[in-house]
């Protein structure tokens, strides 16, 4: 447990935030985002190119000698806050955080190509796979051919390279790269269409070996994903809070602004305390990953156990406090509710992270 | 002398002896059932009932179901049966009851509720839709919003302002509005589930005969509140059997998926099972209390619990389902005929349940109702209450 980790934002991080926010304000309007639910995915590419290439976000976690920016999880977390705030439908978390972290330990030329944004990759596990849980894997034969079906994979629709965990006859878990074009990738109608899932079917697919004994690396990548997802959740919660405060200042009923009713002021005060607490948990997780601190497992589980629920609470409160308009398709609130709820399940539910914490901080349950 | 269950069963049997559901036209059968007083038995004789206790209604419904008789598809007319009918019964003239109740019960005429407006949601008394007297008619103009099922409705209960010169609560009147009037325009309003369950309704020079005014001019607020109290009871105290409603749906998911269970989810589910069962008993108790009178604000508590439990249950169900909780059945925009809160997939249930704490009075407003009208706590400071409606800034 490191109390010397900086939990605030540096000037560099603030600058990064404003350039991402400006770009998203310009190109990621909610009225366009909602089109994803009716099958118009054109925004994904239109947004990803400038984020990846113009702002160079894809290389944040990649060392400079591999064509990356040599930044850390702290900066990636700030990007995720902004992406959450705009419910942006881009594969930053899946490719630039999870797949990139995974490839940091592998040889080959895929990492620099991810860094420059030339290629995009995804780890082929269900989105709800927890860093500490079982890792669903395909099977691989002696000739390196892969077989299996994996559902609820995030980032696969946007990826050109799929990173497939597979077990051989001895049960060893290894990692293989497969060109997305060579396998069956079926889009799934998802609760959160701003991070649409897919079902991957591999039938004797030819893969290139990436990592031999891959389990520790896969867990580390999922842990980074879980730790940084908390920042996305923080971004969602902040937006919901700010939007609701603004709305209740302006909306009048009973001849006065609704925000003046004490019952609602208390609700928003509670929510703002929640959001500030989430900021502490999310920043600690990001800083711990950035520093490769031994407390990362606790930091990630703590962040997921708190920020997941907080983002859902924020979205649910925001919807409620908007009244009828919050239940409509035309108001962006539902985009945040759907993302928050899917994020709560992503990388393990809060309950599963609390169970993990029980092990990590030695608070065994009854009968253990 | 109140009628007994056995006597009711005999009446149904006698009715069925002369009305064979297998050969009769469905609507003819339902009309005859109504005329025999075997529709809603708590209603008076002559209006589809027998002045019998509501608690015996299931006896009649089951007897008809067992005989394979058609029912009135109550789910397609929730607003008619749950809100319009009891309000018409309480405040309508004999002529109005005769004209409207029978086709309402049989489902020949579906109803919707034209109360809320963009500027009048929680503050329903702020309704700005105007009704101006013109001889034997009223000419109505304004905009309504969030009107569930307006696209299927033949008639509507409507609250409109008949006098802008008096304080807001005093200037409202209550009408029964024909939705086929050429001045009524219904536009779909899509909801977070993807469906367009509710609508915007634009009223332009809609003509309503004075004979379709319910209650006195200026009594609209009182009658609207009676409707809302009915609505809350019918929403909150609806289910009667154990594990009816959302708890049954989520319990089924739980039983079907032993591989997904965790101690944490188990504890949460059991708490909600207890809440749902206690709520069911409270509903039972409330209905026994109300057997004689009209519902007052007591239904507010039922509806509060109903909304909370539904929302917590559906949220839990998605967490339980994990991978399957991340999918959705279909986002296609449709205009549904029935609203099925417990139907479709878990994602739909989660999203739809969010409306439970908004429709029929928000949970915040219901807390105010309990605090002020049940507990008698002083109301919040209000600037708009005693001034003429037209002078209050909006
Ligand atoms: C699914 C659905 C179906 C509906 N169907 C119908 C229908 O068929 N017919 C119809 O007429 N209407 C219908 N409604 C409308 C519903 O009755 C209104 O949405 C509701 O009354 C709230 O009004 P509003 O949307 O204007 O919210 P607002 O009144 O603007 O409220 C916004 C928020 O402020 C809170 N608030 C308001 N006043 C206070 C206060 N004094 N103290 C504390 N908090 C307060 C509210 O609880 C809410 O959280 C439906 C709504 C939904 C969601």
Q: What is the DSSP string of B102-151?
A: HHHHHTSS-EEEE--BTTBSS-GGG---EEEEETTEEEEEEEE---TTTT
The pLDDT value given to residue A68: 96
Tokens of B241: 């059997």
Measured CA to CA, the distance from residue A124 to residue A15 in angstroms comes to 33
Dmax of chain A from CA atoms?
A: 75
Q: Please determine, for residue B273, whether its predicted confidence score (pLDDT) is greater than 60.
A: yes
The pLDDT value given to residue A34: 98
Mean pLDDT confidence for B260-289: 93
B358–A127: do the CB atoms touch at under 8 Å?
Answer: no
Domain CATH number, residue B144: 2.40.110.10
Number of domains in chain B: 3
Q: Is some CB atom of chain A closer than 8 A to the CB atom of B281? A: no
Residues 6+ apart with CB under 8 A from A113: A119
Q: How many CB atoms lie within 10 A of CB B259?
A: 5
Instruction: Identify whether residues B264 and B207 lie together within a single domain.
Output: no
The pLDDT value given to residue B80: 96
Measured CA to CA, the distance from residue B236 to residue B230 in angstroms comes to 10
Instruction: Identify whether residues B158 and B259 lie together within a single domain.
Output: no
Is the separation of the CB atoms in A207 and A146 below 8 Å?
yes
**SS3 of B178, please?**
strand
Up-side HSE of residue B2: CA atoms within 13 Å toward CB? 12
Name the helix (H) or strand (E) containing B60: helix B57-66
Instruction: Identify whether residues B30 and B117 lie together within a single domain.
Output: no
Instruction: Identify whether residues B84 and B118 lie together within a single domain.
Output: no
pLDDT in tens, B377-387: 999 888 888 89
Distance B55 CA to ligand 1 centre (A): 32
Is the separation of the CB atoms in B321 and B260 below 8 Å?
yes
Tokens 């927890």 correspond to A130
Instruction: Identify whether residues B241 and B357 lie together within a single domain.
Output: yes
**SS3 of A55, please?**
coil
Q: Which of B217, B247, B271 is the last residue of a domain?
A: B217
Residues 6+ apart with CB under 8 A from A331: A322, A325
Atom of ligand 1 nearest to the CA of B120: 26
Domain A138-213 adopts which CATH fold?
Butyryl-CoA Dehydrogenase, subunit A; domain 2 (2.40.110)
The pLDDT value given to residue B173: 98
Instruction: Identify whether residues B213 and B131 lie together within a single domain.
Output: yes
Instruction: Identify whether residues B291 and B318 lie together within a single domain.
Output: yes
pLDDT in tens, A112-149: 999 999 999 999 999 999 999 999 999 999 999 999 99
Atom of ligand 1 nearest to the CA of B361: 21
**Four-residue CA torsion sign, B368, B371, B374, B380:** negative
Is the separation of the CB atoms in B194 and A329 below 8 Å?
yes
pLDDT in tens, A76-94: 999 999 999 999 999 999 9
Name the helix (H) or strand (E) containing B174: strand B172-178
Measured CA to CA, the distance from residue A358 to residue A289 in angstroms comes to 21
Q: Which residues pair with B130 in a beta bridge?
A: B141, B161
Question: What value, to the nearest 5°, has the Cα angle with vertex B390 and ends B385 and B394?
Answer: 75
**SS3 of B304, please?**
helix
Is the separation of the CB atoms in A180 and A221 below 8 Å?
no
Gap from A133 CA to chain B (nearest CA, Å): 13
Q: Which residues of B9-18 are buried (b: 16+ CB within 10 A; e: fewer)?
A: bebbeebbee
Name the helix (H) or strand (E) containing B272: helix B263-290
Q: List CB contacts (< 8 A) between A37 and chain B.
A: 194, 331
Q: Please determine, for residue B238, whether its predicted confidence score (pLDDT) is greater than 60.
A: no
- Closest A-chain CA to B382: A254
**SS3 of B219, please?**
coil
Q: How many CB atoms lie within 10 A of CB A124?
A: 30
A189–B264: do the CB atoms touch at under 8 Å?
Answer: no
Tokens of A335: 């985009």
CATH number corresponding to A11-120: 1.10.540.10
Minimum CA distance residue for ligand 1 atom 27:
A323
In 3D, which of A26, A76, A345, A353 has the Cα closest to residue A232? A76
Q: Is some CB atom of chain A closer than 8 A to the CB atom of B36? A: no
In 3D, which of B297, B294, B156 has the Cα closest to residue B232? B297
Query: Torsion over CA of A248, A251, A253 and A255, rounded to 10 degrees?
Result: 100
Measured CA to CA, the distance from residue B323 to residue A347 in angstroms comes to 10
Q: Write down the domain spans for chain A.
A: 11-120, 138-213, 216-360
B191–A254: do the CB atoms touch at under 8 Å?
Answer: no
Q: Is B51 part of a structural domain of the chain?
A: yes
The pLDDT value given to residue B235: 65
The pLDDT value given to residue B290: 74
Q: Is B387 part of a structural domain of the chain?
A: no
Instruction: Identify whether residues B24 and B43 lie together within a single domain.
Output: yes
Name the helix (H) or strand (E) containing B100: helix B94-106
Instruction: Identify whether residues B131 and B212 lie together within a single domain.
Output: yes
Structural domain harbouring B248: 223-374
Mutate to test the pocket of ligand 1, among B87, B359, B383, B384 (most ligand atoms within 8 A of CB): B359
Q: Is B394 part of a structural domain of the chain?
A: no
Is the separation of the CB atoms in A332 and A338 below 8 Å?
no
The alpha-carbon radius of gyration of chain B (Å, integer) is 22
Residues 6+ apart with CB under 8 A from B252: none
User: B377: burial class by Cβ within 10 Å (0-12, 13-18, 19+)?
Assistant: exposed
Q: Which of B106, B123, B149 is the last residue of a domain?
A: B106
Instruction: Assign domain A216-360 to a CATH class.
Output: mainly alpha
Beta B130-134 vs A208-211: how paired, if at all?
A: unpaired
Measured CA to CA, the distance from residue B26 to residue B60 in angstroms comes to 18
Tokens of A311: 């983002």
**SS3 of A3, please?**
coil
Q: Is B391 part of a structural domain of the chain?
A: no
Domain CATH number, residue B54: 1.10.540.10
Measured CA to CA, the distance from residue A165 to residue A213 in angstroms comes to 10
Q: Please determine, for residue B84, whether its predicted confidence score (pLDDT) is greater than 90.
A: yes
Gap from B72 CA to chain A (nearest CA, Å): 30
Q: Please determine, for residue B129, whether its predicted confidence score (pLDDT) is greater than 90.
A: yes
The pLDDT value given to residue B385: 84
The pLDDT value given to residue B289: 79
Instruction: Identify whether residues B274 and B339 lie together within a single domain.
Output: yes
**SS3 of A50, please?**
helix
Is the separation of the CB atoms in A38 and A332 below 8 Å?
no
Look over chain B and give the mean of its residue pLDDT values, rounded to a whole number. 94
DSSP-derived letter for residue A57 is G
Please tell me if the domain spanning A11-120 has the same topology as the one spanning A216-360: no
Mutation for A interface: B148, B167, B314, B322, most A CBs within 10 A: B322
Q: Is B263 part of a structural domain of the chain?
A: yes
Instruction: Identify whether residues B15 and B74 lie together within a single domain.
Output: yes
Q: Which residues pair with B200 in a beta bridge?
A: B187
Q: List CB contacts (< 8 A) between B354 and chain A.
A: 316, 319-320, 326-327, 337
Long-range contacts of B59-64 (CB under 8 A, 24+ apart): B59/B5, B59/B8, B59/B9, B60/B8, B60/B12, B63/B8, B63/B9, B63/B12, B63/B13, B64/B12, B64/B16, B64/B21, B64/B33, B64/B38
Residues 6+ apart with CB under 8 A from B68: B21, B22
Measured CA to CA, the distance from residue A123 to residue A171 in angstroms comes to 19
Distance A188 CA to ligand 1 centre (A): 34
Tell me the pLDDT of chain A (368 aa) as tens digits. Answer: 667 899 999 999 999 999 999 999 999 999 999 999 999 999 999 999 999 999 999 999 999 999 999 999 999 999 999 999 999 999 999 999 999 999 998 988 999 999 999 999 999 999 999 999 999 999 999 999 999 999 999 999 999 999 999 999 999 999 999 999 999 999 999 999 999 999 999 999 999 999 999 999 999 999 999 999 999 999 999 999 999 999 999 999 999 999 999 999 999 999 999 999 999 999 999 999 999 999 999 999 999 999 999 999 999 999 999 999 999 999 999 999 999 999 999 999 999 999 999 999 999 998 77
Domain CATH number, residue B230: 1.20.140.10
Measured CA to CA, the distance from residue B351 to residue A191 in angstroms comes to 10
The pLDDT value given to residue B292: 62
Mean pLDDT confidence for B190-198: 97
> What residues 243-272 of chain B have any CB closer than 8 A to a CB of chain A?
262-265
Distance A323 CA to ligand 1 centre (A): 5
DSSP-derived letter for residue B374 is I
Tokens of A9: 């934002």
Q: How many CB atoms lie within 10 A of CB A192?
A: 28
Q: Which of B106, B128, B143 is the last residue of a domain?
A: B106
Minimum CA distance residue for ligand 1 atom 13:
B146
Measured CA to CA, the distance from residue A265 to residue A260 in angstroms comes to 7
Distances (CA, A) of B332 to A195, A329, B190, B329, B344: 18, 12, 10, 9, 13
Taken as a whole, chain B contains a residue count of 394
Q: What is the DSSP string of B193-215?
A: TSS--EEEEEEEEEEEEGGGEES
Instruction: Identify whether residues B197 and B231 lie together within a single domain.
Output: no
């Amino acid at each position: 447990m490191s109390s010397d980790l900086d939990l605030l934002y540096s000037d560099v991080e603030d600058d990064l935030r404003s350039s991402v926010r400006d770009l998203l304000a310009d190109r990621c309007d909610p009225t366009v985002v909602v089109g994803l639910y009716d099958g118009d995915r054109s925004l994904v590419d239109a947004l990803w190119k400038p984020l990846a290439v113009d702002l160079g976000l894809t290389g944040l976690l990649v060392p400079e000698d591999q064509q990356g920016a040599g930044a850390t999880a702290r900066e990636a977390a700030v990007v995720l806050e902004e992406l959450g705030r705009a419910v942006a439908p881009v594969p930053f978390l899946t490719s630039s955080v999870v797949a990139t972290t995974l490839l940091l330990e592998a040889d080959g030329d895929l990492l620099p190509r991810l860094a420059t944004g030339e290629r995009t990759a995804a780890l082929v596990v269900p989105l709800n796979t927890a860093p500490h849980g079982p890792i669903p894997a395909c099977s691989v034969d002696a000739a390196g051919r892969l077989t299996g079906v994996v559902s609820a994979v995030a980032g696969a629709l946007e990826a050109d390279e799929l990173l497939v965990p597979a077990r051989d006859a001895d049960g060893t878990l290894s990692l293989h790269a497969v060109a997305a074009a060579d396998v069956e990738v079926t889009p799934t109608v998802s609760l959160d269409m701003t991070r649409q899932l897919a079902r991957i079917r591999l039938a004797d697919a030819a893969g290139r070996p990436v990592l031999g004994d891959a389990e520790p690396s896969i867990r580390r990548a999922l842990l980074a994903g879980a730790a940084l997802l908390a920042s996305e959740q923080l971004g969602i919660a902040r937006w919901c809070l700010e939007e609701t405060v603004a709305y209740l200042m302006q909306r009048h009923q009973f001849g006065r602004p609704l925000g003046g009713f004490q019952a609602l002021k208390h609700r928003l005060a509670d929510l703002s305390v929640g959001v500030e607490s989430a900021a502490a948990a999310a920043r600690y997780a990001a800083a711990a990953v950035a520093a490769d601190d031994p407390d990362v497992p606790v930091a990630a589980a703590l962040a997921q156990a708190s920020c997941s629920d907080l983002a859902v609470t924020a979205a649910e409160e925001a919807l409620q406090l908007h009244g009828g308009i919050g239940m409509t398709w035309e108001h962006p609130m539902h985009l945040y509710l759907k993302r928050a709820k899917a994020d709560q399940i992503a990388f393990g539910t809060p309950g599963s992270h609390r169970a993990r914490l029980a092990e990590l901080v030695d608070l065994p349950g009854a009968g253990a | 002398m109140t009628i007994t269950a056995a006597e009711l069963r005999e009446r149904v049997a006698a009715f069925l002896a002369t009305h064979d559901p297998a050969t009769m036209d469905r609507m003819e059968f339902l009309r005859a059932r109504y005329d025999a007083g075997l529709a809603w038995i708590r209603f008076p004789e002559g209006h589809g009932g027998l002045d019998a206790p509501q608690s015996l209604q299931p006896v009649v419904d089951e007897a008809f179901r067992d005989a394979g008789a058609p029912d009135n598809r109550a789910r397609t007319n929730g607003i008619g049966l749950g809100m319009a009918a009891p309000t018409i019964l309480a405040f309508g003239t004999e002529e109005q009851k005769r004209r409207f109740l029978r086709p309402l019960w049989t489902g020949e005429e579906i109803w919707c509720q034209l109360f809320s407006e963009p500027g009048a949601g929680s503050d329903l008394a702020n309704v700005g839709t105007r009704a101006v007297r013109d001889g034997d008619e009223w000419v109505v103009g304004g905009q309504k919003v969030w009107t569930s099922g307006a696209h299927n409705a033949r008639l509507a209960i409507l609250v409109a302002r008949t006098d802008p010169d008096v304080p807001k609560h005093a200037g409202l009147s209550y009408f029964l509005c024909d939705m086929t009037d050429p001045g009524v325009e219904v536009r779909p309003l899509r909801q977070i589930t993807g469906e367009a369950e509710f609508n915007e309704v634009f009223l332009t020079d809609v003509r309503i005969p004075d004979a379709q005014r319910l209650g006195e001019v200026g009594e609209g607020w009182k009658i609207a509140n009676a409707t809302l109290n009915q609505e809350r009871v019918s929403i909150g105290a609806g289910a009667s059997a154990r594990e009816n409603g959302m708890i049954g749906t989520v319990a089924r998911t739980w039983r079907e998926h032993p591989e997904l269970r965790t101690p944490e989810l188990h504890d949460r589910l059991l708490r909600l099972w207890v809440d749902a069962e206690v709520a069911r008993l409270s509903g039972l108790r409330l209905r026994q209390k109300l057997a004689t009178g009209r519902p007052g604000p007591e239904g507010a508590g039922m509806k509060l619990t109903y909304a909370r439990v539904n929302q917590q249950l559906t949220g839990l169900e998605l967490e339980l389902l994990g991978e399957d909780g991340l999918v959705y059945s279909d986002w296609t925009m449709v205009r549904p005929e029935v609203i099925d809160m417990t139907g479709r997939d878990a994602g739909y249930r989660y999203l739809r349940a969010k409306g439970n704490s908004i429709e029929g009075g928000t949970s915040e407003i219901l807390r105010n109702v309990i605090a002020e009208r049940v507990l008698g706590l002083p109301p919040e400071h209000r600037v708009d209450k005693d001034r003429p409606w037209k002078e209050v800034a909006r």
